[in-house]
Amino acid sequence: MSDINKEALYDYLLLLGDNSMILGQRLGELCGHGPELETDIALTNISLDLFGQVRNYFQYAAEVVADGRTEDDIAMLRKEHEYKSSLLVEQPNTDFAYVIVRQNFFDHYHYMLLSKLVDSKDEQIVAVAKKSIKEVEYHLDFSSTWVKRLGDGTEESRQRMQDAVNELYRFTRELFKPTETEERMANLGIGADLPSMEEDYYKQLHALLEEATLEVPQGEVFQYGGKEGRHSEYMGYILTDFQFMQRAYPNMKW
């Protein structure tokens, strides 16, 4: 592999890992704050699943870059603009409805992405995808069940869910707008062809929202930028918590 391909592959692994990492951190904030014990544990377990996937991506990234950085360095010691997570996953835990809608919007995408990556020409990406897709299938079932339960529930639960859908829907299209690296990896057969997934994504998502008696926002102006390092105001606060130990105690070892 040439140095240029190594750089592109490293960048692609960050794109794969950062979404799961930032969403995992958001879910970790909810530990002990779930609406019921079973749901609290489920959200925590989803967070742990996501961080497990991140470790696999970043261990591989450390091998690719081969400059002495570890998975922890890659995860925690970058500057804000160097993170490549989408705007969707960094949105706040406003209430349980927002948590579920954010999770479901991402889960639909994540499951479709991994379904493509199991056929990647990169064997290590295939291995991560095959392991992760089993976990993400559960994540999607969990969040979809809650979307239907709350959307077709009480008047208040439906309104809260509709508010969350209205707020978060505008961040979904960024998931399918490829960066230069994502286009390159797709052309090489290593990454997924994101635009080809978009139609099925919205078909499945809209069918779920209809079943949950929720309305699809119309005339939405979509927002982009996170995957290219242009984040919302929330990202800095996430990283303040996430990076604290590594920056307070440099080179710490467990």
Instruction: Tell me what pLDDT residue 2 has.
Output: 58
What pLDDT, on the 0 to 100 scale, is given for residue 40? 84
Phi, psi of 243 (to 5 degrees): -95, 0
CB 16 within 8 A of CB 136: no
Structure tokens at 113: 């992405």
The reported pLDDT for the residue numbered 1 is 58
Secondary structure percentages of the chain, helix, strand, coil, to 5 = 70, 0, 30
Give the residue ranges of the chain where pLDDT is below 70. Answer: 1-4, 253-254
What pLDDT, on the 0 to 100 scale, is given for residue 235?
Answer: 94
Cβ-based burial of 189 (10 A; exposed 0-12, middle 13-18, buried ≥19)? exposed
| DSSP-assigned letters across all residues of 179-193 | -HHHHHHHHTTSS--
- Domain 3-215+229-248, what fold? Ferritin (1.20.1260)
Phi and psi based region of residue 66 (left: phi greater than 0; alpha: psi -120 to 50; beta: remaining): left
The pLDDT of residue 36 is: 77
Cα–Cα dist 83/101, whole Å: 23
Short-list 215, 80, 222, CA closest to 161:
215
Domain boundaries, the chain: 3-215+229-248
Q: Is the pTM value of this prediction over 0.75?
A: yes
Q: What angle do CA 158, 164, 169 make, to 5 degrees?
A: 125
Tokens, residue 111: 């499951």
Neighbours of 219 (CB within 10 A): 4
| pLDDT given at position 138 | 97
Which residues, at least 6 apart from 120, have a Cβ–Cβ distance to it below 8 Å? Answer: 126, 129, 189, 190, 191, 192
